[in-house]
């Protein structure tokens, strides 16, 4: 959080100069065309922290709000500044799993990606394979997660109840979920995940033994943070924990986004055939 306050202050001080540079017609560099100014281009301006987070009647932090990826409280898909990958530890894949992922071409990775194929992204894909905003509603004992992407949702009890008995479990895209509060952090525990989901958009598949522990916290009014740990003894050599992702509070409603007209699958199949024939 301290990092964000510092970044916000730095950005506020630098913003006029930065905007001027972004509009500089020579910004494309010597000998290059100037960048195109188009309506819809976004220059990221982070939100201030906004004060302490709200709390519910039971004293727990209220995570409710519409949340956008990144620090701007708005959609950043058309940012004119390239974003950087999260700084995370290498994923400890077992050698066979790493070989399987590396064996996929870029077109195959796209084609098999649940997000591209319009399949449910599941857990933790609602966070990791989702480029649109989230709406979270928390009430004492309940967590409701709605995402704009394909109008998907998940509802989890936050009273720390146990998972279903083993003989009642079935594979589900969002898995069997239960949650508890650890201080001001909501911890969601998920098992029994359908093997058709991916963990991230990089081809990271999982086994029926995957166990995902997600942590969500709201360090200030305007910011939400998300992290997950995964244990998967059939695919990984050891558990792995992601970096904290930052989301920020938006003032827009979610909009309908059903995935009903997916032409990419056929187009990518054609591409894989073209690439295969070229080999």
Partner 1 sequence: MRTTIGFVFAALLAAVPASAHHAFAVEFDAKNCSDITGVLTKVDYQNPHAYIYVDAKENGQTVQKTFQLSSTSNLKRGGATLPVMNASVGKEVLVRGCASRNGEDNRYAASFIKLADGTVQRLGQDVEGVFGTKVWR
Nearest approach, Cβ of residue 239 and partner 1 (Å): 21
Nearest approach, Cβ of residue 104 and partner 1 (Å): 12
Comparing CB distances to partner 1, the nearer of 65 and 115 is 115
Token code pair at residue 139: 């009430």
Rounded to whole angstroms, how far apart are CA atoms 266 and 40?
29
Q: In this structure, what DSSP letter does residue 61 have?
A: B
Comparing CB distances to partner 1, the nearer of 40 and 165 is 40
SS3 for 6?
Answer: helix
Comparing CB distances to partner 1, the nearer of 31 and 59 is 31
Nearest approach, Cβ of residue 98 and partner 1 (Å): 19
Comparing CB distances to partner 1, the nearer of 148 and 176 is 148
Footprint on this chain of partner 1 (rule: CB under 8 A): 3-4, 7, 10-11, 14, 17-18, 21-22, 27-28, 33, 35-42, 44, 46, 69-71, 74-87, 106-107, 109-110, 115-116, 118, 131-132, 148, 150, 201, 245-246, 252, 255, 257-264, 267-268, 270-271, 273-274
Comparing CB distances to partner 1, the nearer of 38 and 166 is 38
Nearest approach, Cβ of residue 196 and partner 1 (Å): 18
Nearest approach, Cβ of residue 162 and partner 1 (Å): 32
Query: Is the sign of the CA dihedral 231, 135, 247, 142 positive or negative?
Result: negative
Nearest approach, Cβ of residue 167 and partner 1 (Å): 38
Nearest approach, Cβ of residue 149 and partner 1 (Å): 8
Peptide bond into 124 cis (omega under 30): yes
CA-CA distances (angstroms) from residue 116 to 85, 149, 261?
19, 11, 11
Comparing CB distances to partner 1, the nearer of 118 and 213 is 118
How far, rounded to the nearest angstrom, does the alpha carbon of residue 152 sit from its chain's CA centroid?
Answer: 14
DSSP calls for 139-155: ETTEEEEEETGGGEEEE
Rounded to whole angstroms, how far apart are CA atoms 227 and 216?
7
Closest CA to 198 of 257, 116, 263: 116
Cβ atoms of 190 and 177 within 8 Å: the answer is yes
Closest CA to 248 of 224, 226, 227: 224
Comparing CB distances to partner 1, the nearer of 116 and 169 is 116
């Amino acid at each position: 959080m301290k990092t964000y306050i510092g970044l916000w202050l730095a950005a506020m001080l630098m913003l006029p100069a930065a905007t001027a540079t972004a509009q500089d017609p020579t910004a494309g560099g010597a000998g290059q065309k100037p960048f195109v100014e188009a309506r819809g281009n976004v220059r990221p301006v982070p939100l201030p922290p906004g004060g302490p987070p709200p709390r519910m009647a039971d004293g727990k932090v209220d995570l409710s709000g519409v949340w956008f990826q990144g620090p701007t409280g708005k959609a950043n898909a058309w940012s004119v500044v390239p974003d950087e990958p999260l700084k995370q530890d290498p994923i400890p894949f077992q050698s066979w799993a790493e070989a399987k992922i590396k064996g996929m071409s870029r077109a195959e990775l796209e084609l098999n990606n649940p997000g591209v194929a319009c399949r449910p992204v599941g857990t933790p894909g609602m966070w990791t394979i989702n480029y649109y905003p989230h709406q979270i509603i928390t009430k004492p004992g309940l967590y409701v997660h709605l995402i704009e992407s394909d109008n998907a949702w998940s509802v989890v009890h936050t009273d720390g109840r146990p998972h279903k008995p083993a003989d009642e479990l079935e594979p589900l895209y969002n898995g069997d979920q239960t949650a508890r509060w650890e201080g001001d952090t909501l911890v969601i525990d998920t098992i029994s995940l359908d093997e058709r989901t991916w963990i991230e958009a990089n081809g990271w598949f999982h086994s029926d033994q995957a166990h995902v522990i997600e942590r969500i916290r709201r360090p200030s009014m305007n910011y939400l943070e998300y992290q997950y740990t995964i244990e998967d003894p059939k695919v990984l050599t050891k558990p792995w924990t992601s970096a904290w992702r930052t989301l920020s509070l938006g003032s827009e409603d979610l909009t309908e986004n059903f995935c009903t007209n997916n032409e990419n699958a056929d187009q990518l199949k054609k591409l894989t055939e073209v690439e295969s024939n070229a080999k």
